[in-house]
Amino acid sequence: MVLFVASLGYYVSMTNISFNLVVGVLAIIYGLYSFYQRKTAPQDIAKLQIMIERNGEKMANSIHLFGYTLLPIVAGLLMLHAHFRA
């Protein structure tokens, strides 16, 4: 296992893949997936349903849109910018 992790680190350094690139891409994918889920099946998102019960529909949708869709996409774009700028 240690050899695999060490070789993975060597591979990542040789291909110029940074932490910012990996996390940035994953954050953007997560934000887009969250947006897709919100549009296609919002009743299946447990956290959203709990927020609707506690805060009302309008406030819960706003919080969920910002925290689970917009924030990850913006953070991912900033991380990609940091990766390509360096």
Strands (E), the chain: none
Sign of CA dihedral 36, 58, 70, 72: negative
Task: Identify whether 8 is part of a domain.
Answer: no
pLDDT tops 90 at residue 7: no
Task: Identify whether 9 is part of a domain.
Answer: no
Residue 3, pLDDT score: 47
pLDDT tops 60 at residue 80: yes
The tens digit of pLDDT for each residue in 9-62 reads 555 555 688 899 999 999 999 999 999 999 999 899 999 999 999 999 999 999
Total tally of structural domains belonging to the chain: 1
Task: Identify whether 77 is part of a domain.
Answer: yes
Task: Identify whether 58 is part of a domain.
Answer: yes
Task: Identify whether 26 is part of a domain.
Answer: yes
Task: Identify whether 80 is part of a domain.
Answer: yes
Task: Identify whether 3 is part of a domain.
Answer: no
Q: Show the domain range for 74.
A: 18-85
Residue 17, pLDDT score: 85
